[in-house]
């Protein structure tokens, strides 16, 4: 009797990545139909011939990675139909990065990662190296249909994507990594391609001149945050990276807004902490933020900060940067003070009362404090950096923060509460949605 084989499954997983080579010639419509055909095949014929050897037990009565694989390829081709080398890069990261990570991790991964004992250092570096190499090759191979590719697009941007995609693969996210890894890789690569190498060269002297001050002041404030128990050691180190990066690309004005966000968030976490602890809904580690918390709310602002200096859409991306910080402020303050002062917490999905601290739950008091903190953030940020039209800045930040936080509530209920994603991933999506909304609103308000 044939038994399930992880090796056979992953070898097939890797081999299917070779079909990405066809994107050099296929029109996107034909490629899309091929992905659809692969999905139908995996749902029918492959399940019939390989259910026992290729499908994990939990997938035999439902859906899993083998089904999500062609779904991701379909979405990549559809989203990046005019830039199929980006679709190929996301496909390559999934096929060769994720595939080799599992194979090497299962056979040689004795030393486990400190943040996830189910993953190994060998698997992480396999994902990083093979994912990166496959992205570089596929970008070069498929990208030739669009003309020449510069060094930044071919080597540097894929390296950044490979690092973060490999980190995502190690996180405790119950959403299948055949969805998270390729879609994140494609979307992140698309945004990195918005960076203009010429603008980097012309702004290099500015970046280098800001760097010493960025490191000095970020270190000072990071130490202060650690001493007031706002962050733990990992939060301290990652905070330096995020803070220094934002200072370098958004100058001290952007850093002061980041500091404002941190202070408002820390203050709201400390207010009523003993009451929250008594109810069992307090932040872990006495409210100290870890690296996961810092990246969850700091990664999107950093990305928009970089784009605000190095892309052609500098003003819209600058508004996106402030929008993402404003949404993070709204979220933290409304959540923390809602736990302390909220009288009735309801689910925005069912409109029924839920217990305080329930993922996605909202209260009138929490929303009020969130709105006021956002307004304070906007006013002080505008005073710090009055280079925007006030009405546009105010409306873009307020609307994006309100919409993204309601979206976060639904994401929390539908995904986080079911254990599919972590709270940190929910925070990342909140700030990312707010930034994207702020980007578009700044151009139409």
Residue 396 has what pLDDT? 97
Q: Is the pLDDT of residue 1 over 60?
A: no
Give the separation between CA 32 and CA 357, rounded to whole angstroms.
43
| Contacts made by residues 145-152, CB under 8 angstroms, sequence distance 24+ | 145/24, 145/25, 145/84, 145/85, 146/83, 146/85, 149/85, 150/197, 151/197, 152/195, 152/197, 152/200
Going by pLDDT thresholds of 50, 70 and 90, the confidence category of residue 4 is low
pLDDT digits (tens, 9 = 90+) for 213-229: 999 999 999 999 899 88
pLDDT digits (tens, 9 = 90+) for 397-432: 999 999 999 999 999 998 888 777 888 889 999 999
| Percent of residues, the chain, with pLDDT higher than 90 | 68
pLDDT digits (tens, 9 = 90+) for 83-107: 999 999 999 999 999 999 989 998 9
Helix (H, G, I), strand (E, B) or coil at 80: coil
Give the separation between CA 438 and CA 445, rounded to whole angstroms.
10
- Is residue 414 within 8 A of residue 357, CB to CB? The reply is no
Task: Kindly state the average pLDDT of the residues 383-407.
Answer: 95
Residue 56 has what pLDDT? 66
Q: Which residues contact 97 (CB under 8 A, 6 or more apart)?
A: 126, 127, 128, 130, 131, 132, 134, 162, 165, 166, 169, 181
Going by pLDDT thresholds of 50, 70 and 90, the confidence category of residue 9 is confident
Give the separation between CA 438 and CA 326, rounded to whole angstroms.
10
Residue 115 has what pLDDT? 79
Residue tagged 């002297």 (tokens):
205
Residue 412 has what pLDDT? 92
Going by pLDDT thresholds of 50, 70 and 90, the confidence category of residue 309 is very high
Going by pLDDT thresholds of 50, 70 and 90, the confidence category of residue 354 is confident
Q: Is the pLDDT of residue 320 over 90?
A: yes
Going by pLDDT thresholds of 50, 70 and 90, the confidence category of residue 165 is very high
H-assigned helices in 16-64: 28-43, 45-54
Residue 287 has what pLDDT? 65
Residue-level length of the chain: 445
The pLDDT mean for the chain works out to 91
Going by pLDDT thresholds of 50, 70 and 90, the confidence category of residue 76 is very high
Residue 97 has what pLDDT? 96
| Summary count for the chain: helices (H), strands (E) | 18, 2
pLDDT digits (tens, 9 = 90+) for 263-303: 999 899 889 878 877 777 776 667 688 888 898 999 999 99
Residue 31 has what pLDDT? 97
Give the separation between CA 408 and CA 414, rounded to whole angstroms.
10
Residue 293 has what pLDDT? 86
pLDDT digits (tens, 9 = 90+) for 180-202: 899 999 999 999 999 999 999 99
Task: Kindly state the average pLDDT of the residues 125-133.
Answer: 97
Q: How many CA atoms lie within 13 A of 121 on its CB side?
A: 5
Residue tagged 């991790």 (tokens):
105
Residue 57 has what pLDDT? 66
Q: Which residue has the higher pLDDT, 381 or 351?
A: 381
Going by pLDDT thresholds of 50, 70 and 90, the confidence category of residue 60 is low
Task: Kindly state the average pLDDT of the residues 359-367.
Answer: 91
The pTM score is 0.85
Residue 61 has what pLDDT? 65
Q: Is the pLDDT of residue 160 over 60?
A: yes
- Is residue 9 within 8 A of residue 95, CB to CB? The reply is no
Q: Is the pLDDT of residue 54 over 80?
A: no
Going by pLDDT thresholds of 50, 70 and 90, the confidence category of residue 134 is very high
């Amino acid at each position: 009797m044939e038994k399930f084989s992880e090796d056979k499954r992953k070898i097939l997983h890797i081999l299917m990545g070779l079909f990405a080579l066809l994107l050099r010639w296929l029109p996107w419509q034909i490629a899309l139909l091929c992905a659809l055909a692969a999905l139908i095949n995996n749902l029918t014929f492959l399940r019939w011939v390989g259910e026992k050897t290729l499908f994990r037990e939990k997938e035999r009565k439902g859906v899993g990675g083998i089904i999500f694989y062609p779904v991701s390829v379909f979405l990549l081709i559809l989203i990046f139909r005019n830039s199929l080398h980006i679709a190929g890069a996301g496909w390559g990261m999934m096929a060769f990065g994720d595939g080799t990570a599992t194979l090497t991790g299962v056979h040689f991964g004795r030393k486990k990662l400190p943040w996830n004992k189910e993953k190994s250092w060998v698997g992480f570096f396999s994902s990083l190296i093979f994912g990166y190499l496959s992205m570089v090759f596929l970008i070069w191979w498929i990208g030739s249909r669009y003309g020449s590719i510069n060094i930044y697009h071919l080597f540097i941007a894929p390296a950044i994507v490979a690092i973060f995609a490999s980190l995502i693969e190690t996180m405790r996210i119950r959403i299948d990594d055949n969805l998270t890894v390729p879609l994140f890789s494609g979307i992140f690569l698309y945004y990195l391609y918005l960076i203009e190498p010429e603008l980097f060269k012309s702004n290099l002297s500015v970046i280098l001149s800001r760097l010493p001050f960025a490191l000095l002041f970020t270190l000072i404030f990071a130490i202060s945050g650690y001493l007031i128990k706002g962050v733990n050691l990992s939060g301290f180190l990652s905070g330096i990276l995020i803070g220094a990066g934002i200072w370098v690309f958004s100058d001290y004005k952007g850093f002061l807004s980041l500091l404002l966000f941190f202070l408002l968030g820390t203050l709201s976490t400390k207010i009523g902490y003993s009451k929250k602890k008594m109810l069992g809904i307090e932040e872990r580690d006495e409210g100290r933020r870890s690296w996961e918390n810092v990246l969850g709310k700091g990664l999107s602002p950093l990305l928009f900060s970089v784009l605000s200096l190095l892309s052609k859409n500098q003003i819209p991306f600058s508004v996106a940067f402030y929008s993402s910080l404003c949404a993070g402020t709204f979220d933290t303050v409304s959540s923390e003070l809602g736990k302390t002062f909220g009288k009735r917490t309801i689910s925005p999905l069912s409109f029924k009362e839920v217990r305080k601290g329930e993922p996605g739950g909202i209260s009138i008091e929490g929303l009020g404090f969130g709105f006021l903190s956002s307004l304070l953030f906007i006013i002080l940020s505008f005073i710090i950096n009055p280079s925007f039209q006030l009405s546009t800045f105010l409306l873009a930040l307020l609307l994006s923060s309100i919409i993204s936080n309601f979206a976060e509530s639904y994401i929390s209920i539908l995904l986080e509460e079911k254990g599919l994603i972590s709270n940190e991933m929910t925070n990342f999506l909140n700030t990312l949605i707010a930034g994207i909304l702020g980007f578009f609103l700044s151009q139409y308000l």
